Amino acid sequence: MNQDNAPLEIHVHGDVPIKSGTDLKSIQEALKPLWQYAGARSLNEASSSLYEEEPGIRFDASSHRLQMCWTVRGDEDFRMVMEDLCMNLNELSSAGTPIEVTFYDTEFDDEDEASGADSRDDFVMLFVGPDPGAIMQAQRDLLIHDVVNMMERHFDGAELSGVVSEIDKLFSQRFDNLVSSLELGKPPKGAGGNGNGSHGGGGRRPRHLH
C-alpha cells in the first residue's frame, strides 16, 4: 500500500547487526514485507524514504549492519507487516536489537484536537534477535538505559546498582520461565525420534542475568 491519501505516515527506525556471510539477496527477501507494502518490485526500488533527508534502507556489508530510517504512507494494516518483518529479521540478526515504529496521523488537525477527537499517532518498540536470550538482552539493556537516565536526575549513578540488580532479577526470572515452558514441550530422553520436533532451552542466557 502506498497511496497519496493514506491516513498515516509510518516511520521505521533500526540498526540491526546481521550475521556474517549474509548476502544482499537474503536481505532483500527478509525485507520483502516492507517493499511490497510500499508497492515496489524490489528492495532497491523502495529503499528511499518518503523524505529525502532520511537515509532510507541501507545494508552496510563491511560492518554487517542493516540500517533503517525510512518512512512510508499507509494505514493500520502495517502492523501485520511488522510481525512478518520481525520474524524474517530474527533469522538474519546476529544480536538482539530494538526497532522503532512510529505512526503519524496525517489527517488529525487542530479542529480535531479542539473537538476532543483522538489522534491515531502511535509508537511501537519491537525487538529482533537470533534467539530469545538475545532479544531479552536487548530489552534489558534498553530498560536499564531508560531507568538510569531518568533516575540520574535525582541520584548519583553509583547509587543505582541496586536498581539495576533488581531489573536483572526480573529478566532472569522471565528467561527461566521461558526455558521451563520450552522444556515442557520436549520429549523425554530416550523416547526415540529424531529430536527435530522441538527447540532447545530457549537459547543462551542474557548477559548480566545471574
Any alpha helices (H) in the chain, and if so which ranges? 24-30, 32-37, 43-46, 78-92, 110-114, 132-151, 161-184
Are residues 116 and 158 located together in one domain of the fold? no
Q: Give the separation between CA 99 and CA 62, rounded to whole angstroms.
A: 21
Are residues 149 and 122 located together in one domain of the fold? no
Are residues 80 and 95 located together in one domain of the fold? yes
Backbone angles phi, psi at 190, to 5 degrees: 80, 10
Q: Is residue 56 part of a domain?
A: yes
* End residue of a domain, out of 107, 130, 153: 130
Are residues 114 and 20 located together in one domain of the fold? yes
Q: How confident is the prediction along the chain (210 residues), in pLDDT tens digits per residue?
A: 445 678 899 999 999 999 999 999 999 999 999 999 999 999 999 999 999 999 999 999 999 999 999 999 999 999 999 999 999 999 999 999 999 999 998 876 655 555 666 677 899 999 999 998 899 899 989 988 889 889 988 988 888 888 888 888 888 887 778 777 766 655 554 444 444 333 333 455 555 554
In this predicted structure, what is the pLDDT of residue 168? 84
Q: Please say whether the beta carbons of 2 and 36 come within 8 A.
A: no
In this predicted structure, what is the pLDDT of residue 200? 37
Are residues 104 and 19 located together in one domain of the fold? yes
Q: What is the distance of C-alpha 195 from the center of its chain?
A: 30
Q: Please say whether the beta carbons of 176 and 105 come within 8 A.
A: no
Q: Give the separation between CA 189 and CA 187, rounded to whole angstroms.
A: 6
Query: How many folded domains does the chain comprise?
Result: 2
In this predicted structure, what is the pLDDT of residue 111? 58
Neighbours of 174 (CB within 10 A): 16
Angle between helix axes 161-184 and 132-151 (nearest 10 degrees) is 160
Q: Give the separation between CA 51 and CA 68, rounded to whole angstroms.
A: 13
Full residue range of the structural domain in which residue 123 is found? 8-130
Q: Is residue 3 part of a domain?
A: no
Are residues 100 and 183 located together in one domain of the fold? no
Are residues 21 and 121 located together in one domain of the fold? yes
* End residue of a domain, out of 113, 130, 147: 130
In this predicted structure, what is the pLDDT of residue 112? 56
Are residues 26 and 71 located together in one domain of the fold? yes
In this predicted structure, what is the pLDDT of residue 174? 79
Give pTM, 2 decimals. Answer: 0.75
Place of cell 531489573: 167
In this predicted structure, what is the pLDDT of residue 109? 60
Pairing of strands 97-105, 56-60: unpaired
Are residues 137 and 200 located together in one domain of the fold? yes
C-alpha cell at 183: 522444556
Specify the CATH number for the domain of residue 39: 3.30.70
Q: What is the distance of C-alpha 123 from the center of its chain?
A: 12
In this predicted structure, what is the pLDDT of residue 191? 44
In this predicted structure, what is the pLDDT of residue 1? 47
The overall longest dimension of the chain from CA atoms, in Å, is 69
